[in-house]
Structure 1
Amino acid sequence: MNLADRLKSDPFLKRLSELLGEEEVYVVGGYPRDLFLGKRSPDIDIVVLEDIKKFIEPIKKLGPVEFRLSEFMTAKFAFPDGRILDIARARRERYPRPAVLPEVEPAESIEEDLWRRDFSINAMAISLRKSNFGELIDPASGLEDLRRGTIRVLKEGSFRDDPTRAYRAIRYSLRFDFSYDPLTEREFDLARKYAGLLTFPRIENELRRGSTEERRAEFFHEVEARGLFPWEHRKASIEELRRLDKLLGERKEGDWVLFFALYLPESAGAREFVQNLPLERSEKKVLMDFLELREEKIETDPGEFHLKQGKRAEEALLVLAACRPGLRDFLLDYLRRKRNASPRIRPAELMEMGFSGREIGEILKKIEVLRLRGEIQTEEEERAFIRSLLNRESGS
């Protein structure tokens, strides 16, 4: 099957080509790469050589769609089947300083757009134009690098201009089991030098993407080994990372903060470091809870542990289980018990029995502790416990 036939086997792209006719439109980036690797990407990036507004109405004819236009010559279409279509005008970029976002202006050709990209394997384009549908444009020999299993930057200084490319290189290398060419290997020295100039949200974005990869433990390990955590940190072992990966199971972007926790510094300034990070409150809580748990002696009675640590983020306990394997079974058992530890009896019933508000809070907490210890398991046993309290009060 030739390239045009492979594209036509995707009804979405076939219909898109029919709608756009003789317009100069190309599918670029991950879709061509994955197509040659025998994979099918749900996301499609297309590049055009004219104002993208011209293409919005034809694309809307593909079906019901959510649409968003940005100020950076790009638009995003989200279709009900989960498919995402990004459209951008071909552009050239200039980096005024290392590690800053580039200055952008329209490009004159698709080749010019491709040469600005990160790696040769992402610098291929396939025409969707009716007259040359399926024609491959590959100025950087990306297809050859795909066949050789090589990650190769397009120019010297690539990781100085944009150190986030180093994180992506690691991600692609692990995902496809590819190696780095000699120039790319040397570029990591520049990434290590200039990563500290990146804003934290740009690094966070790369860590989020890495946390969804099948080999995410290896991703975080290599990021650290190549000096791409440009702040004080502890070294997490590959064993800790793999244990955390196994504990978490399903891979989600939000997991990045749990892997990040393993690298939190062990110095006195760790809390201040976390407080100054531009994160969501819930993410900071996970990190702060883990820092505090890491410093404490853990009580392995589930009831006592709950009284002291019951308000900790559950994610922080999973990170602790990963870096202290001796506590793993206890912490997982505690989390399992905690899900069924809430008292079944309602506060209103306790109030009808004559207990005050403060007494009700204390009784419910005691029931929760007894449930965690396995000494109470049913609602009837809760009521028996409450009757014993009433009998004790009447006999005193």
Structure 2
Amino acid sequence: MNTKIQKIEKYFNNEIPSLISNCKKIVNKNSDIKAVYIVGGMIRDILSDIKPSEPDIAVAGNFNKFVNLLSEKYRGKIKFHHNFLSAQIYTNILHIDINCLRTEKYNPPGSLPKTKATLDIEQDLIRRDFTVNSIAINISDINKFKLIDPYKGIEDIYEKKIKVLHNKSFIDDPTRIFRAINYKYKNNFEIDPETFNLMKLSSKNVRNLSKDRIKKEMRIFLDTDKVIEKIKFTKKINLFENISKDLSVFKTNLQKTKIPNNFLEILGIILFESDKKQIVKIFDWIKLSKEEKLKLLDIHKMKKICENLSHDKLKASEVVHLCQNISNEILKSHYIVCKIVQSNNQILKYLNYYKNIVPDLSAKELMNLQIKEGKIIGELLSILRNKKIDGEIKNKIEAKKFVKNFLNN
């Protein structure tokens, strides 16, 4: 345990010394603030030898007073969430999450919790999602740091094990099912067999979440690494089936496919054979912007486009005509999964070269040639670009000659 304390203490002293010092000073000068702890993710990450997350602070005592005093030290901006006894401080150097030590009750299960302040750190830790996040260190003790690990979270960190703290954990908060899967694939942890059984039994409780919370969790779930593996794992616990049959359209037979980091490209890959109706239904279950929805609707057009791109003797301008109204993200995703080699070659040429070609004459230059009507200028710009793409016009001189002949005819 001493080695672990030393490891954590070294990080605190090297990386966040002012935060530790300020917390100690505040507790020392204010008797109604009993103790301050760093909890959860930062300790887990330090002990796992990965880059730690931002500090998560828990306060015993006068919570609002502590938040205001700490914010003054950094001249930071405060955002309070009074219903949850929590706040964030945003500074130039840190984003600090702060929570009052609290208990939580979920009534009904799956709803947002009702919170109540406590002075007992162990009561606060048992409300958390997994044992690896239920570790605290008292940073307000003047003499030394004190590590608090009542639920053997450190042991589970070193065994790379995801384990819930009580049997009702996934019933109380079904979003923890998503979180457990994300941890498994992000940190290469294994889910404890008993916890896995609880996930499977509780996956139907995801229906108790509000639609907005499901959409938010689905966004996080799909916007991270190892998406295909994670979707496959959900089938073991019937997670998506318990949310909606609409989610059955996700493709998982892509083991050898290199999955990109871009969120829309990821969705383009796992929805690549979906029709318009299926894609629209997905919008009900994932948090998406209006622009993202419009781009995803391009997916159902790609089957026909890929067939057309595979034709022999297509002009480069015809490739542009087929591709130019499809978002880059969806084109890239279909380049990854489409098995028609000729189509892939054309998509690659479009993305890397054709789409960046502009005509040799601008609208202003056409107006200088005494062309006034906007419709004709637009038509000429389109024709000039196509001829440039096809290699039929190579410079301004040839472009002006073409325009002169076009107008004379």
Q: With the length of structure 2 as denominator, give the TM-score of the two structures.
A: 0.83
Q: Is the 8 A contact 2:268 2:329 kept in 1?
A: no
Q: Percent identity?
A: 25
- Structure 1 residue 16 corresponds to structure 2 residue 30: no
State the shift of 1:286 in Å.
Answer: 1.7
Out of 314-323 and 147-156, give the one that drifted further.
314-323
Give, in whole Å, the separation in 1 of the partners of 2:190 and 2:164: 12
SS of match in other structure, 1:93: strand
Distance apart, 1:256 and its partner CA:
3.4
Match for 1:243: what amino acid?
K
Paired residue secondary structure (2:38): strand
Match in the other structure for 2:31:
none
| 2:324 alignment partner in structure 1 | 310
Q: Deviations over 1:360-387 (max 9, x none)?
A: 111212233344445556xxx2541341
Do the aligned residues in 2 keep the contact of 1:150 with 1:178 (CA within 8 Å)?
yes
Q: Which one of the candidate residues 368, 376, 384 is aligned to 2:385?
A: 368
Matched with 2:251 is 236
1:146 aligns with 2:163: no
1:1-396 equivalence runs, <5 A: 3=5, 5-6=9-10, 7-10=12-15, 11-22=17-28, 23-71=34-82, 72-81=84-93, 83-131=94-142, 133-210=144-221, 213-223=224-234, 226-229=237-240, 230-231=243-244, 232=246, 233-237=248-252, 239=254, 242-245=257-260, 251=261, 255-264=262-271, 266=274, 269-274=277-282, 276=284, 279-294=288-303, 296-300=305-309, 301=314, 302-326=316-340, 327-355=343-371, 356-373=373-390, 375-376=392-393, 381-394=395-408, 396=409
Q: Distance in 1 between matches of 2:303 and 2:118?
A: 53
Distance change >3 Å, CA 48–CA 376, structure 1 → 2: farther
What is the rounded CA distance, in whole Å, between the counterparts of 1:117 and 1:25 in structure 2? 17
- CA–CA distance in 2 between the matches of 1:307 and 1:14? 60
CA contact (8 A) 2:305 2:322 kept: no
Q: Distance in 1 between matches of 2:131 and 2:276?
A: 44
Say whether the 8 Å CA contact 2:131–2:156 is kept in structure 1: yes
Alignment correspondent of 1:248: none
Indicate the SS of the match to 2:229.
Answer: helix
Deviation of the 1:36 alpha carbon: 1.1
Structure 2: runs of 5+ lacking an equivalent: 29-33
Q: 1:21 to 1:392 in 2, by over 3 A?
A: closer
Q: Secondary structure at the match of 2:74?
A: coil
- Give distance in 2, aligned partners of 1:270 and 1:29: 39
Q: For the aligned residues, what is the CA RMSD?
A: 2.8
Q: Cα distance, 1:64 vs. partner? A: 4.2
State the Cα deviation string for residues 276-297 of structure 1 (Å, max 9, x = none).
5663111111211122324555
**8 Å Cα contact 2:174-2:206 kept in structure 1:** yes
**Amino acid of the structure 2 residue aligned with 1:320:** H
Q: Distance in 1 between matches of 2:110 and 2:393?
A: 59
**How far apart are 1:96 and its partner, in Å?**
1.7
Q: Structure 1 residue 209: deviation in Å?
A: 3.5
Question: Which moved further from structure 2: 331-340 or 215-224?
Answer: 215-224
Contact 1:95–1:161 (Cα < 8 Å) also in 2: yes
In structure 1, give the amino acid aligned to 2:90: A
Aligned partner of residue 103 in structure 2, secondary structure? strand
How far apart, CA to CA, are the structure 1 residues paired with 2:50 and 2:210?
A: 33
Instruction: Check whether the contact 1:159–1:190 (CA below 8 A) recurs between aligned residues.
Output: no
Task: Tell me if the contact between 2:182 and 2:230 (Cα under 8 Å) persists in the aligned partners.
Answer: yes
Contact 2:275 2:300 (8 Å CA) reproduced:
no
One-letter code aligned to 1:289: D
Amino acid at match of 2:336: A
CA displacement at 1:218 relative to structure 2: 3.0
Distance 1:69 1:108 in 2: 20
Question: Contact 1:274–1:287 (CA<8 Å) still a contact in 2?
Answer: no
- The SS at the match of 2:206 is helix
Q: Distance in 1 between matches of 2:85 and 2:58?
A: 10
Q: Deviations over 1:117-160 (max 9, x none)?
A: 11100111111112464211112110111111111011113222
Supply the distance in 2 between the matched residues of 1:153 and 1:118 (Cα, whole angstroms).
Answer: 6
The question of whether the paired residues in 2 share the 8 Å contact of 1:234 and 1:262 is answered with: no
Q: Which moved more, 1:47-56 or 1:217-226?
A: 217-226
**Offset of 1:306 from its aligned partner?**
2.5
Question: Which segment drifts farther, 210-219 or 149-158?
Answer: 210-219
Shift of 1:67: 2.5
Would the alpha carbon gap of residues 297 and 118 (structure 1) be closer, same or farther in structure 2, given more than 3 Å must change?
same
| TM-score scaled by length of structure 1 | 0.85
Structure 1, residues 266-314: CA drift from partner, whole Å, max 9, x if none? 3663254156566311111121112232455543244223324412221
Call closer, same or farther: CA 1:223–1:270 in 2, change over 3 Å. same
Q: Distance in 2 between matches of 1:75 and 1:166?
A: 25
Q: 214-223 or 227-236, which moves further after superposition?
A: 214-223
